[in-house]
Amino acid sequence: MTWTGGQLDRMRGVGDPLADDTVAAIFERGDLPAVHSLMRTLVHNDQLVPDAFPDEVRSYLEQDPMPAGVDMARIERAQDFFQLWGVQISLSLFCASLPSAYAAAKGVKVLYETARLQTDTRRRILETGQFLMDVMAPGGLAPGGKGIRSIQRVRLMHAAVRRLILTDGAWDTAAWGVPINQEDLAGTMLSFSYVPCEPLRRLGVDVSDQDAEDYIACWNVVGEMLGVLPEMRPAGVAEATELVGLIRVRHDRPSPEGAAMTAALVDLLEEMTPHLGHRRSGPAHIRGLGRLVPVMIRHLVGDDVAAMIAVPPSRPGWFRIFEPVLVLIRAVESGVERDRHLHTLVEPLGRALLVGSFAIERGGVRAPFDIPDHLARRWVLST
């Protein structure tokens, strides 16, 4: 499949008819408070109790979202890959996927607006990590699996956000497209599925072609359940690479929303890793390279994207006066040496982030950040 700018422009005007119709039916009864109540429930509760919702939502939740003819063996292989490399994949999510998403100047506006609608940027970052765990844990996409219910909740929340933002009247649809439109949904799915193709390899993981293809296929199934149209789901690594590149060219720009989301992300990640590195107070550092989280983000997304989203400098400003000399006399400034230093910290940082997730309050009546016990043991997060 080959995409064109015109096609993607059209996709910016398309939302998700199934979930949108469910929320619209409530709204069209003149029951805007019910839409706000639905949004609060979706944001603050893990468990969706059908009896607590209007008839339209109960009907939606009773449907089986799993597409017919899915290759479950392929999904299980992708989940096995996640079991093996989940620490590195989680690190890639926090330090590559989310920062890359914040570089999309139009798409990040809705993430920023969502934080304004009864939620919190820090908790929303953790919710993204929880969604990854729910979907990719073994059995997560089996009948009755936790990932299935998470997908249903997120899809419905997208529709509620879409309706509330459009009702607010401040959203410029002509300039930005429909909130959470098909192009942005596809970009979000790629931020999850493309991890084995790019960030993991930058972390030193040897990813086979089959692993990458299976992982993308698994997230295509998730995308279908989230309402991503067939024409926006790349069939494999080659098509995913093409679509990622096109979306980046179309949308990667500096924006105040992207900078704000990045600042919140960096603050949260540094809070989750307070003692990892060479300093015992303040942000963790790598000897000779500076603050650990900004260094890792820059390593994974590149300096150009890091500049777009205002990733903070890893070293204090005064340190720049020494840069010309250090470049000449210190091997640590070489790309090879930098990669060696970072690769030794990949697993400790990834584990520290996952362990730190348990300490952050998710709010509402949500359980703490949840990682299945057997995954926690495999990743050496617990005993």
Q: What is the pLDDT of residues 93-109, one digit of tens each?
A: 999 999 999 999 999 99
Identify which of 1-5, 111-115, 339-343 has the greatest average pLDDT: 1-5
Ranking 22-31, 144-153, 177-186 by mean pLDDT, the lowest is 22-31
pLDDT confidence band for 30 (50 / 70 / 90): low
Q: With a cut of 60, say whether residue 334 has pLDDT above it.
A: no
Distance CA 127, CA 133 (A): 10
Q: How many CB atoms lie within 10 A of CB 40?
A: 15
Average the pLDDT over 173-183 and give the result.
96
Radius of gyration of the chain (CA): 21
Average the pLDDT over 256-265 and give the result.
94
In the numeric block, the tokens 């979306």 are attached to: 247
Residues of the chain above pLDDT 90, percent: 50
Average the pLDDT over 4-19 and give the result.
95
Q: With a cut of 80, say whether residue 118 has pLDDT above it.
A: no
Q: How far is CA 105 from CA 228, 256, 270, 328, in A?
A: 21, 9, 24, 37
Q: Give the model's pLDDT for residue 361.
A: 62
Residues of the chain above pLDDT 70, percent: 80
Q: Give the model's pLDDT for residue 321.
A: 47
186-211 per-residue burial string, b: 16 or more CB within 10 A, e: under 16: bbbbbbbbbbbbbbbebbebebeeeb
Average the pLDDT over 232-241 and give the result.
96
What distance lies between CA 42 and its chain's CA centroid?
Answer: 18
Answer for the pair 4, 32: CB distance below 8 angstroms, yes or no.
no
Q: Where are the domains of the chain?
A: 5-54+70-253, 257-378
Distance CA 68, CA 135 (A): 18
Q: Give the model's pLDDT for residue 122.
A: 76
Distance CA 313, CA 194 (A): 27
Q: With a cut of 50, say whether residue 322 has pLDDT above it.
A: no
Q: With a cut of 80, say whether residue 37 has pLDDT above it.
A: no
Q: What is the pLDDT of residues 189-231, one digit of tens each?
A: 999 999 888 899 999 899 999 999 999 999 999 999 999 999 9
